[in-house]
Chains A and B, each alone.
Chain A
Amino acid sequence: MSTLLEIDRLSTHFNTEEGRIKAVDQVSLRIKPGETVCIVGESGCGKSVTAMSIMGLLQSGPGVEIGGRIQFGDTELISLDKHHLRAIRGHEIAMIFQEPMSSLNPVLTIGEQLIEPMVLHLKLNKKEARKRAVELIEQVGISRPEQILKSYPHELSGGMLQRIMIAIAISCQPKLLIADEPTTALDVTIQAQILDMLRQIKAESDMSILLITHDLGVVAEMADYVVVMYAGKVVEEGEVTALFESPKHPYTQGLLRSKPVLGQRQDELFSIPGQVPNLLDLRPSCYFQDRCAHCMDICRTQEPALKSVGGGQKAACWLYEEEKRHG
């Protein structure tokens, strides 16, 4: 099957005074047209930096080093010049952010901000763009669109603003929508509505979604394919059902166990002991070793590679290498 976006060994490193931070290290993933890929992981594991690298929001410079390839259709995004990048942003790849409240310009009306990308990318005139803006607002489930067009961001609630953000993002019918924790700042009922809406929009077009989240509930609801990241690396990936049924990597297992189950009250909710390692002093080892229940000697000295573990899943863990060796 064809590939829409292929990330090949992307590394985004930050050079700070304390040393080099490998925020994203050798991450590869691919997104097919119409597919929803979720990147899961806890805070600081490089999810957002991956998204920002795709969008070209981090520019290579003395502080930032970006390596690897990001192939979007026929274009390579990392080496793309500013002019062409601008034509892709907002038009073919759109992005929504975590905080809808602060992602809209407070002094411009919703209408102005919604119409702007359509005039720019689709070359519509103001009147056509306005007409389409009304349709978009209805599509994202807000009534009285005419009135919304004239309001300012502070007059709307967080949930409505996130709908508006989605309306802006899909206004130019992008091929890929990157959603960076789109529901984290919203309360649970709104969360479900937003996710439903994203799914519906996806069903109506052949848009792919790259969803970044730390919420496994969101993953279960949305994803076709899941990529689990830990400390800047992919530790496991696979089809959503397979991954939820038989998680291979101890980290994924831990993540799934630490999710509360509705109707089953446990005395104590499971949590993975310890903290994400400091990205500054990573030695060659499995980065999860000091939190892992199955830690072996080899885990402390050598880094496991991401390998197929059957069932279409891949995991980076010595457990499975060992198994193969003995079996």
Chain B
Amino acid sequence: MSSIPGNLSQPGQAAVPSAAPKKPSLWRQSLRRLLRNKLAVSGFIVVVFMFLACFLGPLFSPYTDNKIQMSLMNKPPSWQHWLGTDKLGRDVLTRVLQAGRISLTVGLASMVLSVFLGTLLGAIAGYYRGVVDQIIMRIADLLLTIPGLPLLFISGALLSEWKVPTDYRMYIVMLMLSLVNWPGLARMIRGQMLSLREREFMQAAVVLGLRDRRKLVHHLLPNLVPLIIVMATLNIGGAILSESVLSFFGLGVMPPTPTWGNMIDAANNMIDFQSHPWLWIPPGLSIFATVIAINLFGDGLRDVLDPKMNR
């Protein structure tokens, strides 16, 4: 033991040439490469801005989102109301930000849930193979064969039919989105798992007498972390988009709870579409900017973390 400090004080004697003391970690290297990607960085900035604006912005707004003032109906943008007011006299900017909270939360939460489901089921299927694999993957295939949007539409219509209280609908929409999204993720994770489990270091782990669960959680999952991060990021954008589509058709989150999707609903009305563009352009732009930004950032992440996936 006493030889260690001795060795450190005499770098000339060091017998460890390849483990140089200040080697940047893998994560730091990846971060540096990510920062070099201008598009990804700007995407990240937009996402952060959106999150900050939506979650902090409304706190500074003098208006509340649900206060109805008939005298202020459909006013165009002005100094008092930067993005104008809607047909109930509510401030559009405040509502866009409030809606952002819901949309981003739905996107995030459904991503967490679908990544959790997808990783868990995909990993189990890929690791154990056999019957378990067959059951999980056939369910996934079944869900994949049904096009996602119609499935969401039908379940949304059912929710309306069953008169589910509007407060709960947001949570149910999250659940629905993750149920539609996990099979794709599970497939990817399973594929990776199938190749990882045959690698030599896993044979070495078997030889050490490790338990299945330990091999799965401690040895295989860390190898999948980059893939999971990338897929999770790209998944948020998709979830936000699906939620908007659903809410736009009145099958997702219902007014008065604002989301970007149900705010664009104003474009459904010919008069609003033509003469009150401030009602639907801001939420539309928000969706557009957020989803594009998230995808750019996700693509950048993928280039850095998962070089194998490059087309």
Contacts and interface: CB of A to CB of B under 8 A. Distances in A.
Secondary structure of the B contact surface, majority rule: helix
A32 interface: no
B163 interface: no
B201 interface: yes
Given A99-B200, A142-B15, A148-B19, A57 B207 contact: yes
B201 A105 contact: yes
A57 B7 contact: no
Interface string A84-109: 01111111001101010011111110
A278 interface: no
A120 B209 contact: yes
A144 B201 contact: no
Nearest to B211: A86
Interface residues of A, number: 41
Contacts of A145: 4
Contacts of A85: 209
B16 A144 contact: yes
Contact of A134 (B1, B205, B222): B1
B204 to A, nearest CB: 5
Q: Interface centre among B23, B200, B225, by most A CB within 10 Å?
A: B200
Contact of A87 (B21, B206, B209): B209
Contacts of B223: 105-107
Contacts of A55: 207
Interface residues of B, number: 33
A3 interface: no
B4 A89 contact: no
A88 B209 contact: yes
Interface in B12-66: 13-19, 21, 23, 26
B3 interface: yes
Given A104-B201, A105-B223, A108-B219, A90 B207 contact: yes
B9 to A, nearest CB: 12
Contacts, number: 99
A121 B210 CA distance: 9
B31 to A, nearest CB: 17
Nearest to B219: A105
Nearest to B20: A155
Nearest to A160: B18
Contact of A97 (B4, B21, B200): B200
A281 interface: no
B26 A104 contact: no
Contacts of A156: 18-19
B131 interface: no
A157 interface: yes
A142 B200 contact: no
Interface of A: 55, 57, 85-91, 94-95, 97, 99, 102-108, 116-117, 120-121, 134, 138, 142-148, 151-152, 155-157, 160, 165, 168
Interface of B: 1, 3-4, 7-8, 13-19, 21, 23, 26, 199-201, 203-211, 214, 218-219, 222-223, 225
10 closest residue pairs by CB, A with B: A89-B209, A90-B209, A90-B208, A102-B200, A107-B222, A86-B209, A103-B204, A95-B207, A105-B201, A143-B15
Given A103-B201, A104-B204, 14 more contacts: A55-B207, A57-B203, A89-B209, A102-B201, A103-B204, A105-B219, A105-B222, A108-B218, A116-B208, A117-B208, A120-B214, A143-B7, A144-B4, A160-B16
24 contacts: A55-B207, A87-B209, A89-B208, A90-B208, A97-B200, A99-B200, A103-B203, A105-B201, A106-B223, A107-B225, A116-B210, A117-B208, A117-B209, A120-B209, A138-B1, A143-B14, A144-B16, A145-B4, A146-B4, A147-B16, A147-B21, A151-B19, A155-B18, A160-B18
